[in-house]
A and B are shown apart, each in its own frame.
Chain A
Amino acid sequence: SQKIEQNSEALNIQEGKTATLTCNYTNYSPAYLQWYRQDPGRGPVFLLLIRENEKEKRKERLKVTFDTTLKQSLFHITASQPADSATYLCALTSGTYKYIFGTGTRLKVLA
């Protein structure tokens, strides 16, 4: 069955460092991969989308890579700030109407 894995353990990093989150998937050939941010008690908020034929996408301090051979996406936040503390979700879609979400990784940026 289709499976998405994100590191379930919280990631603690020091302010100013680069945070790197991982999203691995199996038994799936996604056409699109998305990253969302979710704060406690709130709905997820869209951050970035990357297509299967794109290797890398950037938006301000965010960078996403997509390796369809390794079946992996990396999500980087450079110059991290305490305000970046949240849970980050990856989502896959093959272009149909069914989005598949990972369980999310909780990031805590320490001041």
Chain B
Amino acid sequence: NAGVTQTPKFQVLKTGQSMTLQCAQDMNHEYMSWYRQDPGMGLRLIHYSVGAGITDQGEVPNGYNVSRSTTEDFPLRLLSAAPSQTSVYFCASSYTGGAGELFFGEGSRLTVL
């Protein structure tokens, strides 16, 4: 099983550009989520989804957009990149969410100049 796959692994953007981080899972998990990880801040929840067509905001949602059209995919869109969005982004999925173990992707390192 591939598990949780994130693309791209590395990306450099200029301020104001937009882009989409892709996340796909092949475990038929209903729950998917996006985190950002910054030094000294830990993992912070950006958005999450409990199933196709259902999304909700996490702790730091501003500047990010998500949608969930299929069970497998949960893309994260940066609408107008800012240097403050320089971070490592992780996608995670779980069978149930709420208490289930999270399966993480390998991360996407984003630098905004």
Contacts and interface: CB of A to CB of B under 8 A. Distances in A.
Interface in B30-88: 31, 33, 35, 40-45, 48, 50, 56, 58-59
B102 A44 contact: yes
Contacts of A46: 101-103
Nearest to A34: B101
Q: Which of A4, A43, A103 has the most CB of B within 10 A?
A: A43
Range of interface residues on B (Cβ < 8 Å): 20 to 34
A52 to B, nearest CB: 11
B98 A43 contact: no
Contact of A97 (B40, B44, B98): B98
Nearest to A8: B40
Given A43-B105, A43-B106, A103-B41, 12 more contacts: A32-B99, A44-B90, A44-B102, A93-B98, A93-B99, A97-B33, A97-B97, A97-B98, A101-B35, A101-B44, A103-B42, A104-B42
Contacts of B35: 101
Interface string A88-111: 010101011111111110000000
